Amino acid sequence: MSRKYFPGCFSEVDMSKLLRSEEMTLAQIFLSQEASYNCIRELGELGAVQFSDLNEGVNAFSRNYVSEIRRAEEMERRLRFFASEIEREKLPIPADYNVPAAPNPKDLIDLEATLEQLEGETRQINANQEALLRNFYELKELKHVLNSASVFFQVGAAIQQEGLKERLTPKFDEEAGGNMSRHLSFLCGVINRSKIPVFERVLWRASRGKALLRHMEIEEALKDPATEEEIPKSTFIVYFQGEQLKMRVKKICEGLGATTYPCKEDWEERRQTEAEVDKRLEELTSILNETKNHRFRMLNTVVSSINSWIIQVRKVKAIWYTMNKFKKTETGLLHAEGWCPKIQLNEVDRALKRGAQAAGSEVAPILNTVTTRRTPPTYHRTNTLTKGYQAVIDAYGVASYQEINPAIFTVITFPFLFGIMFGDIGHGLIMFLAGLYLVLKEGYFTKRLKSYEEIFSMMFHGRYIIMMNGMFAVYAGFLYNDIFSLSLNIFGFSWTPTNFTHYEKNSSHYINPEAMYGMDPYPKGYEYKGNPYFFGIDPFWNLAENKLTFINSYKMKLAVILGLIQMTFGLILSFKNFQFKGKTVDIYCTFVPQMIFLQSLIGYLCFMIFFKWFTCGPRTTQPSLLICLINMFLQFGSPIEEHMQLYSNQMYIQSALVVIAVICVPWMLGAKPLIEHMYPRIQHASYEQFDNDGEEEGEEEEHHSMVDVIVHQGIETIEFTLGCISNTASYLRLWALSLAHAELSEVLWSMVMQGGLGMDINPYVNPIAIVLTFSFWAVATVAILIVMEGLSAFLHALRLHWVEFQNKFYKGEGHLFAPFSFERVLNGQDEE
């Protein structure tokens, strides 16, 4: 059942391999040129080799397969053209979840020819359609001009009758051509409506007021033949007199993009012209419909295959790009080199043989492993559960080769610390259900992920983090006994309010909800039953006057204890790293003094916390543990005051711990440099990052001077000693955020929800008020307490892992294994 609902979590991954990165080997591959394409295609499907560029000094345009890459880019351009045409027609592209294989060379030639032919036909159809549309809209414009002519010519008649002609055409006008006929000329056309004001001003200035413009808006939407965008236009007529003025008007029309059309003044001639225009429009409409249908059918054939073609072309381009990294040998073979997980060498060999067999090559591919001292890439095998946590670790820094991987521990520690800060049963349950929904619908969302917004994609990739954060928040909520700022009485009270001075009972014998109680466990009046609450905090604390004091003390001490546990675990992991790399000097000169120093200070503080919990009662003196820790150093060797005394011989034990801690500082600072100075071979082993027990190939070993070693060790010593205090204080954020979350939840409940439930206006208004109050409370709870507070707790948990935990053992100086993989290419992970 677990595999059914969480298929990615239980993939066949050796859990022991999760602790360290995969063991890598440098492989050399020799291929014949005729088989190289098919072999690299098989390796792209496998995704197990990270190829090195053997032509780093060669210009990108001077490499072997530049022409092939250009062919692939030309096919990509054609596919982008088809995609834009499909989008322009608003055709739905069917979702095709089958990923086709990269085509073989013969199929690639056929695909290239098909794309070239389809592009040529599509562009020809587009050109014909554009020409037809241009002719169609020109006829439309002419028809509107003819329809507007009657109104325009009525204006011209009015000009003649009103004697305006005398004003427009004086007897002699040099610019108009001297003595002229008194007959007015006109010019009709169509212009963009937004240019009418400019048209009027230019005409007035060019003609000195001797041209008259009349225009009328076209109600029908006319389109641009090229872009098919709607352009508001108007018909116009310009009255003028003289040939020179006519030429000026024509030039103004051309400059402003206006189109002029011939129009007869006689009504019968205009009617005949309009009938011819209507007939031509009908013919063009029929031809346009046939052209659009033909274009639609052609694009439909492209739509069904475009996703497959895009994937195939991207794979082909990736193959040629990868082959450009290879070097030709004197024998005509291609020489490739790259990193490969040692466990997958046999798979790589089989893939190469499949490629050579598919190409029909008589020369078998050669696969050799090379011994080198170069640092390999870091490769961690992940499944859907660990992938998100591995991304969190890699965001800080990729693990050095064969360094302990913190991700396997972060799977538990990260949501646990998140839950400590976010502890609430209700809020955690909502978060858990949201993550669980994304997990259960994993297959559905994975297929459609590219169509969603980036923020949803980010949440989906972190679905297991969300689910586990919510699960641990529910656990911490039971630990705090907190659900939406309320408490659950699951196991019954461990307190009885018999002799409480603040205890009040009303007539119904129920506890007064406004009464507050001081929780005093001292058995004077049988208030405390003597049996602790089975799990978590007793719900009766929710009514106590000293609730906040108790909860603060409890959570603060819990934060310090958890901090010590995680920091100690980090030091243990540093020991395992030193042990794995054979760094004995680092074990005795770094790990041991650091562990002693940490336990002498913070470990002793946690000891006092537990000692105080077990021995101090409500009637005994309870010294401040923080003051005790400070006095260890400020009052070294001085007798401890009675009210600060926890146990006998406390002064001697504390003085001994201070001496031990002080001794650890020069131990960390000087022991390692001194030993490495006395035994130089140890220095080389200490600073060596990778050694594969082989000869160095043209690479010089790195040597460190004594000064470098002393400075490096001094920095680490200062960082660790100061970090012991600052890191411990940093874990107090567990208490601070938990307190803030609980108080904000309580404020929201008491000021919003409780007030709404207590309303008593009338029977008709009360239900509406309760619904509105609950809606506001629910929205505020999700937006503030779950989303915003959840993000805050996530960032603080991230900080505790990156800084306080990982700096004890994690270097993070490696580089990720980025194999040549079609999956990475299609997902956009391979930037090259």
Q: What is the pLDDT of residues 578-609, one digit of tens each?
A: 999 888 889 999 999 999 999 999 999 999 99
Residue 175 pLDDT more than 60? no
Structure token pair of residue 478: 């039971």
Q: Which band of pLDDT confidence, cut at 50, 70 and 90, is reported for residue 367?
A: very high
Closest CA relative to residue 691, chosen from 573, 813, 582? 582
> What pLDDT does residue 38 have?
93
pLDDT tens for residues 633-648?
A: 888 878 888 777 888 8
* CA distances for 100 relative to 42, 120, 653, angstroms: 13, 25, 72
Q: Is 570 left (phi over 0), alpha (psi -120 to 50) or beta?
A: alpha
Cα torsion for 428, 429, 431, 434, to the nearest 10°? 170
User: Which DSSP symbol is given to 808?
Assistant: G
CB contact at 8 A, 240 and 175:
no
* Neighbour order of strands in the sheet with 185-192: 212-217, 233-240, 185-192, 259-261
Work out the mean pLDDT of the chain and round it to a whole number.
83
Q: Distance of CA 484 to CAs 324, 427, 539, Å?
A: 61, 7, 13
pLDDT at 573: 95
Query: Is the Cα dihedral 226, 228, 230, 232 positive or negative?
Result: positive
**Half-sphere exposure of residue 678: CA atoms within 13 angstroms, side-chain side:** 6
The secondary structure of residue 82, as a DSSP letter, is H
Distance linking the first and last C-alpha atoms of the chain: 41
**Token pair 């062919």 in the structure block, residue:** 71
Whole-number pLDDT of residue 176: 43
Q: Say how many C-beta atoms besides its own lie within 10 A of residue 716's C-beta.
A: 15
Q: Tokens 């937006």 belong to which residue?
A: 783
For 25-42, write each residue's pLDDT tens digit: 999 999 998 999 999 999
Kindly report, residue by residue over 240-259, the tens digit of the pLDDT: 888 888 888 889 998 888 88
Residues 537 and 544 sit within 8 Å (Cβ to Cβ):
no
User: How many Å apart are CA 216 and CA 193, to the nearest integer?
Assistant: 9
Closest of 576, 566, 573 to residue 412, by C-alpha? 566
- Contact call for residues 431 and 474 (beta carbons, < 8 A): no
pLDDT at 313 over 90: yes
Taking CA atoms, 689 is separated from 150, 686, 702, in Å, by: 93, 8, 10
Count of CA atoms in the C-beta half-sphere (13 A) of 269: 6
Residue 177: the pLDDT is: 41
* Tokens linked to 304: 């069904």
